[in-house]
Amino acid sequence: MEIRNEWWEWAKTLLAAVIIAGVIRLFFFSPVVVDGSSMVPTLQDGDRMIVNKFQYKVTVPERFDIVVFHFSDQEDYIKRVIGLPGESVAYSDDQLYIDGEPVEEEFRGTDIFTEDFDLNELGYEEVPEGHLFVMGDNREYSKDSRHIGPVPIEEVVGETPLIYWPFEDIKLFTKE
């Protein structure tokens, strides 16, 4: 009788742990693996990150946040927020302009080049309400809002503030 009670207590504890882990993964945090080179040099192919799903339930995305969003039912993308709703976005001579004003991209290395474009060429005057304009850091090899259009905010899974693997590359991205 005593052994049965001990097994029952262990079973309840394990079940509770599985339920708590499931809730945390479903609503708060989940792992994601970087697939491809579109975010180099910031993120490398194979980096493992944590997606904070809760962040945008209480705040809104900010410029230069690294976000995960649903591209399709089978595929998620990781990109950087460049333009926010209501803003015009343009690049000229490798300089980002938001609403006609130059904006520095401190995360960019010197070897990253962005071809000239503006939203008008893509069929928009400004980033539509409820959408974000996102780009990969490796602009030459990134399939991003220049190709797929602005991303609906409701498709954003969350922010990716932490690389946890490989161990030697552990990094927490902070807002400055």
User: In order of start, what are the domains of the chain with their CATH numbers?
Assistant: 30-172 (2.10.109.10)
What is the token pair recorded at 158? Answer: 């969350």
Sheet of 117-118, strands arranged across: 101-103, 95-98, 89-92, 117-118
pLDDT tens digits, one per residue of 44-61: 999 999 999 888 888 999
Q: What is the pTM of this model?
A: 0.84
Angle CA 81–77–131, to nearest 5 = 45
38, 88, 142, 145: the active-site residue: 38
Known active-site residue 79: yes
Residues 6+ apart with CB under 8 A from 80: 39, 42, 64, 65, 66, 67, 107, 134, 135, 136, 137
For CA atoms 21, 167, 164, 31, give the dihedral sign. negative
For CA atoms 155, 56, 160, 65, give the dihedral sign. positive
pLDDT attached to residue 9: 84
53, 79, 88, 145: the active-site residue: 79
Known active-site residue 72: no
Mean pLDDT (whole number) for 77-91: 96
